[in-house]
A and B are shown apart, each in its own frame.
Chain A
Amino acid sequence: MAATDVNIHPSEEMRTLSLSGHVGFDSLPDQLVSKSVSQGFSFNILCVGETGIGKSTLMNTLFNTTFENEEASHFKNGVHLRPRTYTLQESNVDLQLTIVDTVGFGDQVNKEESYKPIVDYIDAQFENFLEEELKIKRSLYNYHDSRIHICLYFIAPTGHSLKSLDLVTMKKLDSKVNIIPIIAKADTISKSELQKFKIKIMSELVSNGVQIYQFPTDDEAVAEINSSMNAHLPFAVIGSSEEVQIGNKMVRARQYPWGVVQVENESHCDFVKLREMLIRVNMLDLREQTHARHYELYRRCKLEEMGFKDTDPDSEPFSLQETYVAKRREFIGELQLKEEQMRQMFVNKVKETEAELKEKERELHERFEMLKRTHQEEKRNLEEKRRDLEEEMNTFNRRKVAAETLQSLQGSSALKKDKEKKT
């Protein structure tokens, strides 16, 4: 679809009229609110940080509940992402919260590939959404949006500066997701060191061109608080899963031999600020930024890769349809070529096997002939032998008969002689 810009030219007729009565379209925001409340909200957080730095504890503290979580080991081979979805309810608002954990981040000896699984995961979520958007029969209304809205990057409280791994990872992520850097386990840094640490981190981020999420200052309702919070970045937070009695209340805190660190005490840490900014004020803006900025960037890159353009070489608005048809033709052509190739291969193979089989057949014939010949020869030999034998038998019979007759003659003559003698 061609993008048509709606330009409001001063020459066009657009008049503002005043109403003479109450029409009632001021209830539109309320209708929108009730619709979105009934639809429910979804929010996806990605927590990136070393093992044991306090990601799970902070999530528990932030949402005031306990998400079940096993402790991760330090000896994983690579970085894995572990997404978990929970449904939370507060007043009448439903929230589908997905927390994605990076397991094994920062543990390996060689961390050059550590950022890749994270980037791949974020891209995969964008890809899913893009696919849904490009479908013919699509249901964006019901689609469970799994794109990451916010990435909380946990910085280890060394007190000096960012680690090299942090810098490399944040540079890879800043164009794909909203990043809010936070200093984890901040109860190990004293106030003066914290100030210096924050300044060092921000200067390093700026000098390396890392774009972290800035709280929006264009809406006057929240501009003031947002701009003051922007100056407090990165937030130094503490999380706690235990509660301690202070005064007459149970508060989330950490008990040390030298004092008690209260999580919700603004002079102890910036947790309240983080919660305020993340959940109470800017949650919607984070979702919109993800869709409007990061997702659009991804979509643009992906479609340009596929060969789509917004304008022709002649600067005419290009029709998506035409490009699509052209691409399709190309694709089909390629397919046909491949089919031809495969068919050729098949035919060649058949020919080869046929030739082989013919050879074998010929061989078999030859052998058969040979066998037949030998058989006949043998038969002939046998015949000859039989004839010889018969002849022998005949001669033998004759001789026998002759000998018998002779004998009988001799016998009879002897008898005669005897008879003559007797008479």
Chain B
Amino acid sequence: MTTNIRYKSRLMKSEDSEDKQYVGFATLPNQVHRKSVKKGFDFTLMVAGESGLGKSTLVNSLFLTDLYKDRKLLNAEERINQTVEITKHTVDIEEKGVKLKLTIVDTPGFGDAVNNNECWKPITDYIDQQFEQYFRDESGLNRKNILDNRVHCCLYFIPPFGHGLRPVDVEFMKALHEKVNIVPLISKADCLTPNEVKKLKDRVRDEIERFGIKVYQFPECDSDEEEEFKQMDKELKECTPFAVIGSNTVVEARGQRVRGRLYPWGIVEVENQSHCDFVKLRNILIRSHMHDLKDVTCDVHYENYRALCIQEMTSKLAQDNRTDSPLPILPLPTPDVETERLIKMKDEELKRMQEMLEKMQQQMHEKDQ
């Protein structure tokens, strides 16, 4: 029997003569799908950037909900010495039976004070804290219900009013690019004409490369994918950083009700590809790369943190004369304390001998004279 369902194996019947040599593990994707739907997904998204760049509006537009109903914005005088806070909003949303536990981590106060030295420190501390907590849970005895609070993706909002990246942007991204996937966005793109958008994107891409910032790279598509897919992928990569517009309001445009912004000179539609890259961002973030973001967080950033943590722990323990640790110490290529001491002694001896040699040479020289 031929069917047009994705998983042809769904209608496997044992008395079908065609499937005599059919083992049946082709149903694995099926099983994965069923189990994951049952388990539900979780995703932690962090938004960072100065006040007034449209972060909350964009989050609302992305997930089509209103997460920021009653928030209080500070006045300018209160913000002169503001410190950065970390706020978390968790919502459970469901679509076609698939449940998603979405956590949005917001960073109010970032870049708002007059003196913004190290204003990213609370953010890096928070990310490290989540890693540490997961590390502890993972190494614990009861690993059934680990809560994964690690930040999977950080959307960084670049203001469109300048000529490119500013020092605070560069510093922030450099402090975080090895801890979390950074996706830079150009916010409030409705103040840039198409030429200006292109110029700014090129500028930002150049500066990111020049300063050595490692932003999230979309995975290369396999060489056996269709041409159309490859073309789309290439276009996507050339479009970064995405220039986005968000909107909390629904307006009437061309006979339809769409999310957009109403101006006296026209209507900006959020979901119109020729107006902004919002659709591309949504596809990347939610529809195609959400799981990849999670994987990179687990496999790359978390593993880096873990290795660093363990190294520090073992060297610290070695200094404290090897007390019993609750964690199994893995054999790591850290130099032993004994060998280090020997090496030091040998170094000193060498130095002494060199000095003596020099003295003797000098004496001989004088004698000759």
Q: How far is the CA of A268 from the CA of B51 in the complex (A)?
A: 25
Q: Decide: A109 and B168 in contact? CB cutoff 8 A.
A: yes
Instruction: List A contacts of B112 (CB < 8 A).
Output: 163-164
Q: Is A86 an interface residue (CB 8 A)?
A: no
Instruction: List A contacts of B50 (CB < 8 A).
Output: 158
Majority SS of interface residues in chain B?
Answer: loop
B107 to chain A, nearest CB (A): 15
Interface centre among B114, B167, B274 (most CB of A within 10 A): B114
Q: Decide: A158 and B115 in contact? CB cutoff 8 A.
A: no
Q: Decide: B265 and A262 in contact? CB cutoff 8 A.
A: yes
Q: Decide: A51 and B114 in contact? CB cutoff 8 A.
A: no
CB within 8 Å for A107 and B166 given contacts A167-B80, A260-B265: yes
Instruction: List B contacts of A110 (CB < 8 A).
Output: 114-117
Instruction: List B contacts of A257 (CB < 8 A).
Output: 194, 272, 274-275
Majority SS of interface residues in chain A?
Answer: loop
The stretch that binds B, out of A124-132, A181-189, A363-371, A382-390, is A181-189
Instruction: List B contacts of A254 (CB < 8 A).
Output: 193
Q: Decide: B116 and A109 in contact? CB cutoff 8 A.
A: yes
Q: How far is the CA of A52 from the CA of B162 in the complex (A)?
A: 4
Q: Decide: A166 and B76 in contact? CB cutoff 8 A.
A: yes
Out of B51, B159, B266, name the residue touching A256 (CB < 8 Å): B266
Q: Decide: A109 and B171 in contact? CB cutoff 8 A.
A: yes
CB within 8 Å for A185 and B165 given contacts A161-B75, A164-B112: no
Q: Decide: A158 and B51 in contact? CB cutoff 8 A.
A: yes
Q: Is B61 an interface residue (CB 8 A)?
A: no
The stretch that binds A, out of B92-100, B256-264, B305-313, is B256-264
Out of A52, A160, A207, A268, name the residue touching B52 (CB < 8 Å): A160
Q: Is B340 an interface residue (CB 8 A)?
A: no
Q: Is B82 an interface residue (CB 8 A)?
A: yes
Q: Decide: B194 and A158 in contact? CB cutoff 8 A.
A: no
Q: How far is the CA of A160 from the CA of B78 in the complex (A)?
A: 14
Q: How far is the CA of A197 from the CA of B266 in the complex (A)?
A: 21
Q: Is B102 an interface residue (CB 8 A)?
A: no
Q: Decide: B162 and A204 in contact? CB cutoff 8 A.
A: no
Closest to B251 in A: A190
Closest to B74 in A: A161
Q: What string of 1s and 0s marks CB contacts (under 8 Å) between B56-85 and chain A? A: 000000000000000001011101101000
Instruction: List A contacts of B267 (CB < 8 A).
Output: 258-259
A255 to chain B, nearest CB (A): 6
Q: Decide: A156 and B159 in contact? CB cutoff 8 A.
A: yes
Interface centre among B76, B264, B272 (most CB of A within 10 A): B76
Q: What string of 1s and 0s marks CB contacts (under 8 Å) between B123-165 and chain A? A: 0000000000000000000000000000000000001111111
Q: Decide: B263 and A160 in contact? CB cutoff 8 A.
A: no
Q: How far is the CA of A110 from the CA of B167 in the complex (A)?
A: 10
Closest to B79 in A: A164
Instruction: List A contacts of B119 (CB < 8 A).
Output: 109
CB within 8 Å for A72 and B76 given contacts A110-B116, A267-B264, A268-B265: no
Interface residue range, chain B: 35 or more
Out of B73, B161, B194, name the residue touching A52 (CB < 8 Å): B161
Q: How far is the CA of A133 from the CA of B14 in the complex (A)?
A: 108
Q: Is A111 an interface residue (CB 8 A)?
A: yes
Instruction: List B contacts of A51 (CB < 8 A).
Output: 162-163, 166
B68 to chain A, nearest CB (A): 12
Closest to A110 in B: B115
Closest to B263 in A: A190
Q: Is B188 an interface residue (CB 8 A)?
A: yes
B208 to chain A, nearest CB (A): 14
Out of B51, B80, B113, B161, name the residue touching A184 (CB < 8 Å): B161
Out of A167, A188, A262, name the residue touching B76 (CB < 8 Å): A167
Q: How far is the CA of A308 from the CA of B262 in the complex (A)?
A: 61
Q: Is A53 an interface residue (CB 8 A)?
A: yes
Instruction: List B contacts of A372 (CB < 8 A).
Output: none
Closest to A267 in B: B264
Instruction: List B contacts of A267 (CB < 8 A).
Output: 264
Q: Decide: B167 and A164 in contact? CB cutoff 8 A.
A: no
Instruction: List A contacts of B115 (CB < 8 A).
Output: 109-112
Q: Is B53 an interface residue (CB 8 A)?
A: yes
Closest to A71 in B: B163
Q: Decide: B191 and A108 in contact? CB cutoff 8 A.
A: no
Q: How far is the CA of A398 from the CA of B275 in the complex (A)?
A: 140
Q: Is B190 an interface residue (CB 8 A)?
A: yes
Q: Is A191 an interface residue (CB 8 A)?
A: yes
B54 to chain A, nearest CB (A): 8
Considering the complex, which residues of chain A in the window 251-309 have a beta carbon less than 8 Å from any beta carbon of chain B? Answer: 254-262, 267-268
Q: How far is the CA of A159 from the CA of B82 in the complex (A)?
A: 19
Instruction: List B contacts of A112 (CB < 8 A).
Output: 114-115
Instruction: List B contacts of A52 (CB < 8 A).
Output: 161-163
Out of B53, B164, B191, name the residue touching A185 (CB < 8 Å): B191
Q: Is A165 an interface residue (CB 8 A)?
A: yes
Instruction: List B contacts of A161 (CB < 8 A).
Output: 52, 73, 75-76
Q: Decide: A164 and B163 in contact? CB cutoff 8 A.
A: no
Q: Is A143 an interface residue (CB 8 A)?
A: no
B351 to chain A, nearest CB (A): 43
Q: Is B268 an interface residue (CB 8 A)?
A: yes
Q: Is B277 an interface residue (CB 8 A)?
A: no
Q: What string of 1s and 0s marks CB contacts (under 8 Å) between A158-180 and chain B? A: 11111111111000000000000
Please give me the 9 A-B residue pairs with the lowest Cβ-Cβ distance, nearest first.
A158-B52, A259-B266, A52-B162, A188-B191, A259-B265, A258-B266, A162-B76, A164-B80, A167-B76
Not counting A188-B188, A256-B194, A257-B272, a sample of 6 additional A-B residue pairs whose C-beta atoms are within 8 angstroms of each other reads A51-B163, A109-B115, A109-B119, A167-B80, A261-B263, A268-B265
Q: List 21 A-B contacts (CB under 8 A).
A: A52-B161, A52-B162, A74-B162, A74-B163, A74-B166, A109-B117, A157-B188, A164-B79, A164-B113, A187-B265, A190-B263, A191-B264, A204-B75, A256-B265, A257-B275, A258-B263, A258-B268, A258-B269, A258-B275, A259-B263, A260-B266
